[in-house]
Every structure is written in structure tokens, then in C-alpha cells.
Structure 1
Amino acid sequence: MGLGDKISNEAENLGGKAKEATGNATNNDRLKAEGQTDQVKADAKKVGEDVKDTFKKD
């Protein structure tokens, strides 16, 4: 996984956490759900990149 990909995924994850926290604080269910979705996307990308890295090592 390239450093740029790691940074991008972590930024998406942190942005999702911020959206979720803002949604919780303002009782905005849509914003909270968007934040959770962003976090899931970032996690899925990380898993995909980890799998690629595993196969590149062999």
C-alpha cells in the first residue's frame, strides 16, 4: 500500500468520524450515517490494499 493511499484512507476515516460526531451532537441522523459510511469505505479500502500488499510480498 502506498503512503499516499494510507494517508487518503486515514483522512477519509477521520472525516467520517468527524461527520458522525457532528451528526450525534446536532441530532442529524443523515450526517451521522454519512460519517459511518465514510468510515466503512475507508476500512474496506484498507483491507483491499492490505490484501494486495500480502500478495506482492510473495
Structure 2
Amino acid sequence: MPGIVPHRHCVVCGKAIEPDQIYCSDECEQAMNKERKRQRNMMILMFLFLFALLILIWLPRF
């Protein structure tokens, strides 16, 4: 039985690709960049929301 050819899987779609690649196509790379940007924006939004909530809690009541 022959051995398995060295390979990796695309981190977006899971297709088998060459060991030195990360994505199988430009579309998958763009999809990953879009997802990373969405996650970064969501994290910034959550930190801003938490900061605003802490400010509201700690503000002295007039």
C-alpha cells in the first residue's frame, strides 16, 4: 500500500493542498481575510461596550 502524499488542508474549505500553501485559492484567502476583519471589529465593539458599561456604573450619580 503506497503512503499518503504529504499535504495540508485549506483552512477555509478543507480541500487537500500542497504542504507549503495555506489556502487553496484566492477566494478562500479573501474569505479568511474578511472573517478576520469581522472578528477584529467584533472584538473592538465588545471592548467599547464593556468600557462604556464600566463608565456608566462608576460615574457618580447626580
- TM (norm. structure 2) is 0.53
The residue that corresponds to 2:53 in the other structure is 56
CA-based RMSD of the aligned residues comes to 1.5
Unaligned runs of 5+ in 2: 1-10, 13-20, 56-62
Unaligned runs of 5+ in 1: 1-17
4+ long deviations beyond 3 Å = none
Which structure has the higher relative contact order (CA within 8 Å, separation 6+)? Answer: 1
Identity, in percent, stands at 3
More helix, by proportion: 1
Return the alpha-carbon distance in structure 2 between the equivalents of residues 32 and 38 of structure 1.
10
Q: Number of matched residues?
A: 37
More strand, by proportion: 2
- TM (norm. structure 1) is 0.56
Return the alpha-carbon distance in structure 2 between the equivalents of residues 42 and 31 of structure 1.
16
